[in-house]
Amino acid sequence: MQQKQPPRVSTATSAFHLPRSEWPSHPNYPQQVLLMGAHQNFREISLHVVTLVKEQRAPRAKRLFSSWMMAMRGHEHYEESKLFKYLSQRYGLSMSALEEGHEELHEKEAWVNDGFAACAREDSQEHRDALVEALLAYRDVLWAHLKLEEDTVIPLLLAMTPEEFQRYYNGDIQSLLEELEAMKEEA
């Protein structure tokens, strides 16, 4: 059975428009719960790390932050190596703002790690305050990035047919990109 060319989304905007209020009622939304749940967890962890530092528990906050950053690297790798590449090719949209958001998060992460290092050398209120400032800066960038990512990515994923989403979800990126290229050449 020959697959037809997937519909294109206008590149006049950075994302296919579908208001957040309509996402939960969309038939494809249950497939997006994992991504949305991960993002909500990231928001909650960002708040918890700040709380730990404010409670003078910087060593515990450092362990949590380090573990979280390892998870973030895996999450970012998936997004940059599969999700963004596929959506960019599929819809003809640039995902550079989302990739730049990851770079900005890495810069803020370095500031946070410097703050943890200062607290480890000398546990003082001044160092804890500086660390909280760095963590809040990280949180602000994170939350803005997650909102942009959700507002960009979720409507595009919801625009897929359930069959296309399953092909995407189960497929490797090279095969998926080749499939999109073949459909483009057939059109």
Domain boundaries, the chain: 37-186
Q: Over the chain (187 residues), what is each successive 10-residue block's mean pLDDT?
A: 38 59 87 89 97 96 98 96 96 95 98 98 96 98 96 92 91 95 86
pLDDT of residue 184: 86
Rounded CA-CA distance 148/155 in Å is: 11
pLDDT at position 16 is 66
**Element holding 41 (H helix, E strand):** helix 33-54
CATH number of 37-186: 1.20.120
Give the predicted TM-score (pTM) of the model.
0.87
Q: Cβ-count burial of 24 within 10 angstroms (0-12 exposed, 13-18 middle, 19+ buried)? A: exposed
